[in-house]
Amino acid sequence: MTAEKHFKRSRNGLGIASVFMRTSTSRERAYHKWPTSKTWIADLIKAPMKAWMATWVTGSARWIKKFCSQDSN
């Protein structure tokens, strides 16, 4: 058994989410929650800056549009 499979099995047994799952869940939550905030983060989400590479806002928006259904809100 490889080390990666061993760690994955241990995480599952202990009920610990992977770092990727935790960060993607947090990004999606922030993307839906913070546009109503009265801080600068709401401005960034409503009008994301143009960048050559994806930011967490544009990447999250693209990912949600592609993989999430409208009923999940």
**What is the structure's pLDDT at 50?**
75
CB atoms near residue 27 (< 10 Å):
16
- Give domain status of residue 24, yes or no: yes
In 3D space, the residue among 28, 36, 26 whose CA is nearest the CA of residue 61 turns out to be 28
In angstroms, rounded to a whole number, what is the distance separating the alpha carbons of residues 14 and 70?
A: 32
Domain coverage including residue 30: 18-68
- Give domain status of residue 64, yes or no: yes
- Give domain status of residue 54, yes or no: yes
pLDDT, averaged across the chain: 77
- Give domain status of residue 9, yes or no: no
Task: Count up the domains in the chain and report the number.
Answer: 1
pLDDT in tens, 3-32: 777 777 777 777 777 777 788 888 888 888
pLDDT in tens, 26-62: 888 888 888 888 888 888 778 777 777 777 777 788 8
Tokens of 66: 């592609």
